[in-house]
């Protein structure tokens, strides 16, 4: 019987192992694209082809599971990311040294035609397609922002009406057939290769054929042999040669990207199958002329995998998303609420925020509304999307928020004497390295020692010291530097968990190395305790911790601790007494700060000033206390906050955090494992930031 079962099992395994991997169903939109896809399948059987009429039909098919993937431009990535489709980008095209994973949206004209961008009214225009990035969203958004196209808004008419009235005639594939926006088209004006003037090559052909006088395309569209006959229109109303696109463009926008459903296994399958393609050029449409850019752009040099959890908003960036939204006819008018939407993390914070919101009502006006999310990073995403406005975060999170385009508006002040003092120094603390006096441990001989950390990713306990160490070693594997230690939040099998104490249970202790108070060596006091109890040779903490847990201060474990038995170490210096942290520290770290979008900074600061006048420690209203936590600790703000002080207008996150902190973080961020997914998405390519 056992033999039969074994044979059956082996047979099943053989069948399972020999079964072909699931195919990736690629969505195509024309006969030429279908032919290229079919030829690909002959070389790479991991693919199959699904033909649809147009882009939106492909998006719907992918959502429904009838297809798996398609490469889209930014405008279509926006559409695919809307709630009703919920697709997300997973792989970007890379165009090489000219722009990497971005491209330049440009306006091309024939040389000698004598007009600038401010004289486009009444001209004939060629567009790659309605709703596409370089061909529609960017040029129309640019002309609107320059007040060249007059449009009163979507309440009165769709933007297409304003464009019709501005240009004499156009070819904008995807527009209503029979309208002025289709007048110059040669085919059916569809957003597919059935229309000869569709896409980059088509829009350029529309200009070359003298059907139109300006073509809105990307910077790599004009063939090398033709460049001498054409010029670019610059935003300052001048012209420039075709190859001067870096200085003369309408915008730098994210590259086309492969989109699919939110399924990590499917995303990995698509990436693996694309990388395994051999004897077939994915980035050439030469065999299928005159069509170009089939399946991928012909100018693509390689494909680049996007960071995990990158959605359409993070990929496209706030500036581009704002441009697209401003043109969308379905976009609802902005809400008239003047309240700031505070983002709370978890149930306890949400409950406190709800109490704040109720108490913030003044007459008929609510000053605070509450949003919530499971993590700080999810809150930061909500603020970027304008679904929330503000949150108070620590230095490391200010760094991530800054990389995502947010700015510090207010900073917590823990020294009451500085509240109300104009221009007073913001609260800050010193990140220090503490050792036992006489141990012989110095900064220069730290290698091979045991280390005590407040927690993985924490400012004083990890980011600052490990940033310094990375600058010395240039090695991201810190287990090669320290022999062992306790860094709560590390992988349980890591040497950085071997010295952790857990909850104190003898066996089966699930709390060991957890990033929570259940681990006795977690947090500032816990890391110092790790040093005191001999589990480590150095503790990375903030400057006040030794005094707070010695000389009769602190919990029972600290009862016999004498601060004079400890000293500070720092680079290029001999050990110094604990109280000399000003001359011997690893970084000065600013207090927690309220972050928001740049355009909301002044309003967030104004409302918070008003709220703390009512609900701060010396506030006029005792019904609610902004800096006290009833059912937890440090909810919304640190409980030790005495007041909030405005960060000077125009201050960047780099200026706020300070050079020492930025240097340490910049070095640490060379280690991918130390960079949050959100930050990776925000910094994936240069075009997410403002030009």
Q: Is the pTM of this model over 0.85?
A: no
3-state secondary structure of 458: coil
- For residue 534, with 0-12 CB atoms within 10 Å meaning exposed, 13-18 middle and 19 or more buried, which class applies? exposed
Q: Please tell me the number of Cα atoms within 13 Å of 41 on its side-chain side.
A: 15
Whole-number pLDDT of residue 20: 43
- Judged on CB neighbours under 10 Å (0-12, 13-18, 19+), 369 is middle
- E strands in 187-330: 214-218, 230-233, 239-241, 251-254, 257-260, 302-305
CB 560 within 8 A of CB 551: no
- Cα–Cα distances in angstroms (integers) from residue 273 to residues 26, 255, 300, 311, in the given order: 11, 21, 17, 22
**Distance in angstroms (rounded) separating the CA atoms of residues 414 and 600:** 25
Predicted pLDDT of residue 506: 59
Element (H, E) at 467: helix 464-473
CB 94, CB 100: distance < 8 Å? yes
pLDDT digits (tens, 9 = 90+) for 77-130: 999 999 899 999 999 999 887 667 888 999 999 999 999 999 999 999 999 999
Which has the closest alpha carbon to 432: 578, 298, 560, 294?
578
CB 79 within 8 A of CB 282: no
DSSP secondary structure string, 639-670?
TT--EEEEPPTT--HHHHH-HHHHHHHHHHTT
CB atoms within 10 A of CB 261: 18
pLDDT score for 691: 36
CA atoms of 541 and 526, how far apart (whole Å): 9
Query: How many separate helices (H) and strands (E) can be counted in the chain?
Result: 20, 26
Contact 173, 128 (CB under 8 A): yes
Separation between Cα atoms, residue 675 and residue 681, nearest integer Å: 10
Whether residue 290 has a cis bond before it, omega within 30° of 0: yes
Distance of CA 233 to the CA centre of its chain: 32
Segment holding 106, helix H or strand E? strand 102-110
The ranges of the chain with pLDDT < 70 are 1-21, 98-99, 328-337, 422-425, 505-508, 632, 686-691
Residue 382 zone, left/alpha/beta (φ > 0; ψ -120 to 50; rest):
alpha
Percent of the chain with pLDDT over 70: 93
| C-alpha to C-alpha distance for 573 and 670, rounded to whole angstroms | 27
Whether residue 437 contacts residue 549, with contact meaning beta carbons closer than 8 Å, is answered with no
* Per-residue confidence (pLDDT) for residue 152, from 0 to 100: 80
The span from the CA of 159 to the CA of 157, in Å, is 6
* pLDDT for the residue 382: 93
């Amino acid at each position: 019987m056992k033999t039969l079962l074994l044979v059956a099992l082996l047979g099943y395994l053989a069948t399972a192992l020999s079964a072909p991997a699931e195919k990736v169903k690629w969505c195509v939109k024309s006969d030429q694209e279908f032919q290229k896809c079919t030829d690909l399948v002959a070389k790479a059987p991991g693919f199959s082809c699904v033909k649809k009429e147009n882009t939106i039909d492909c998006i719907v098919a992918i959502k429904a599971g009838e297809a798996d993937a398609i490469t889209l431009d930014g405008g279509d990535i926006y559409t695919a990311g809307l709630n009703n489709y919920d697709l997300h980008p997973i792989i970007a095209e890379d165009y090489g040294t000219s722009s990497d994973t971005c491209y330049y949206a440009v306006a091309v004209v024939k040389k000698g035609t004598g007009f600038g961008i401010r004289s486009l009214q009444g001209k004939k225009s060629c567009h790659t397609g309605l709703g596409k990035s370089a061909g529609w969203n960017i040029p129309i958004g640019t002309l609107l922002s320059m007040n060249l196209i007059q449009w009163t808004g979507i309440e009165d008419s769709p933007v297409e009406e304003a464009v019709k009235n501005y240009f004499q005639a156009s070819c904008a594939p995807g527009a209503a057939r029979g309208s002025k926006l289709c007048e110059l088209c040669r085919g059916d004006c569809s957003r597919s290769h059935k229309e000869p003037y569709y896409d980059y090559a088509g829009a350029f052909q529309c200009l070359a054929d003298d059907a139109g006088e300006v073509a809105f395309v990307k910077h790599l569209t004009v063939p090398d042999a033709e460049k001498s006959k054409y010029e670019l229109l610059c935003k300052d109303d001048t012209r420039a040669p075709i190859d001067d696109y870096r200085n003369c463009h309408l915008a730098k926008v994210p590259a086309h990207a492969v989109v699919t459903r939110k399924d990590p296994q499917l995303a990995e399958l698509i990436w693996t199958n694309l990388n395994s393609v051999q004897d077939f050029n994915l980035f050439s449409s030469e065999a299928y002329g005159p069509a170009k850019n089939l399946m991928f752009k012909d100018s693509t040099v390689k494909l680049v995998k996007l960071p995990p959890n990158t959605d359409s908003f993070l990929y496209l960036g706030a500036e581009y998303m704002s441009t697209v939204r401003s043109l969308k006819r379905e976009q609802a008018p902005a809400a008239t609420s003047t309240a700031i939407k505070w983002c709370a993390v978890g149930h306890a914070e949400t409950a406190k925020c709800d109490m704040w919101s109720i108490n913030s009502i003044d007459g008929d006006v609510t000053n605070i509304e509450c949003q919530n999310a499971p993590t700080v990073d999810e809150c930061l995403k909500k603020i970027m999307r304008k679904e929330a406005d503000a949150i108070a975060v620590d230095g490391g999170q200010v760094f991530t928020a800054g990389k995502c385009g947010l700015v510090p508006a207010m900073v917590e002040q823990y020294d009451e004497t500085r509240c109300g003092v104009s221009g007073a120094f913001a609260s800050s603390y010193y990140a220090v390295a503490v050792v036992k006096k006489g141990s012989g441990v110095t900064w220069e001989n730290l290698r091979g020692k045991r280390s005590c950390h407040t927690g993985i990713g924490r400012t004083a306990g990890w980011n600052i010291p490990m940033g310094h160490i990375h600058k010395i070693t240039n090695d991201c594997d810190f287990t090669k530097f320290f022999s062992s230690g306790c860094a709560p939040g590390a992988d349980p099998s890591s040497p950085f968990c071997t010295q952790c104490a857990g909850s104190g249970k003898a066996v089966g202790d699930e709390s060991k190395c957890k990033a929570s108070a259940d681990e006795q060596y977690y947090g500032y006091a816990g890391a110092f305790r790790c040093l005191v109890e001999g589990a480590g040779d150095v503790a990375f903490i903030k400057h006040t911790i030794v005094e707070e847990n010695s000389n009769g201060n602190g919990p029972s474990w600290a009862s016999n601790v004498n601060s004079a038995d400890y000293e500070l170490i720092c680079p290029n210096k001999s050990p110094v007494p604990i109280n000399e942290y000003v001359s011997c520290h690893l970084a000065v770290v600013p207090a927690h700060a309220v972050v928001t979008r740049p355009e909301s900074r002044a309003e967030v600061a104004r409302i918070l000033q008003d709220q703390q006048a009512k609900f701060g420690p010396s506030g006029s209203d005792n019904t609610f206390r902004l800096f006290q936590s009833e059912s937890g600790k440090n909810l919304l703000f640190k409980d030790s906050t005495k007041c909030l002080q405005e960060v000077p207008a125009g201050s960047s996150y780099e200026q706020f955090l300070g050079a020492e902190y930025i240097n340490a973080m910049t070095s640490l961020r060379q280690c991918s494992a130390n960079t949050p997914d959100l930050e990776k998405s925000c910094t994936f390519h240069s075009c997410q930031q403002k030009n």
